[in-house]
Amino acid sequence: MIKMTRVDHRLIHGQVGFTWTKFLEADCILIASDALVADPLKMSAMKMAKPSGVKLVMKSIDDSVTALNSGVTDKYKLFILCESVADMYRLVKQVPAIKEVNLGGMKNGEDRKQISKAVHLSEEDIAQINELTNEGIELTVQLVPDDQKVAVSKLLA
């Protein structure tokens, strides 16, 4: 069962590794990222950052799609992490079970628009988010569980 799908460029860190995982009662974290699986050093860092007692799986986007659609992940209380809106978009477009996405920390840059305290989006991000919203996917910003969930569409308006 998918408990949450979140975009956060930091992947596993304090908010994700402990606050969200505990709040969701997740027993497995799936990181769906082509860039991560190509970087052994970053993969090692994620293994060290994961909370104890929680399974960590790191897969490419395509392998994540296959696993999620096959049912092999159904036995877990699954917390899915993506590094970017582009990765999340590819995943959501191919995994019908994902109906909601939380946007967490997304770093600033020259070509990025700040829509909340920690979320900065490019024009391409905004276009992909708008497309998913129009398809009925709920996209929200909520840094930690105690924060109010805010629809991304409201922040972009």
Q: What six digits make up the tokens of 56?
A: 């960590």
Ordered by start, the domain boundaries in the chain are 2-156
> pLDDT, tens digit, for every residue of 26-49?
999 999 999 999 999 999 999 999
Q: Among 3.40.50.300, 3.30.479.10, 3.40.35.10, 2.70.98.60, what is the CATH number of 2-156?
A: 3.40.35.10
Q: Which position has the token pair 């276009």?
A: 127
3-class DSSP state for residue 77?
A: coil
pTM of the model: 0.95
DSSP lists the bridge partners of residue 2 as 78
Cα(131)–Cα(142) distance, integer angstroms: 20
**DSSP, res 2:** E
pLDDT at residue 137, as a whole number: 97
CA distance 65 to 76: 16
State the Cα–Cα distance between residues 118 and 71, nearest whole angstrom.
Answer: 33
Chain segment 18-30, per-residue pLDDT in tens: 899 999 999 999 9
The backbone region for 82, taken as left when phi is positive above 0, alpha when psi lies in -120 to 50, beta otherwise, is beta
pLDDT tens profile 63-104: 999 999 999 999 999 999 999 999 999 999 999 999 999 998
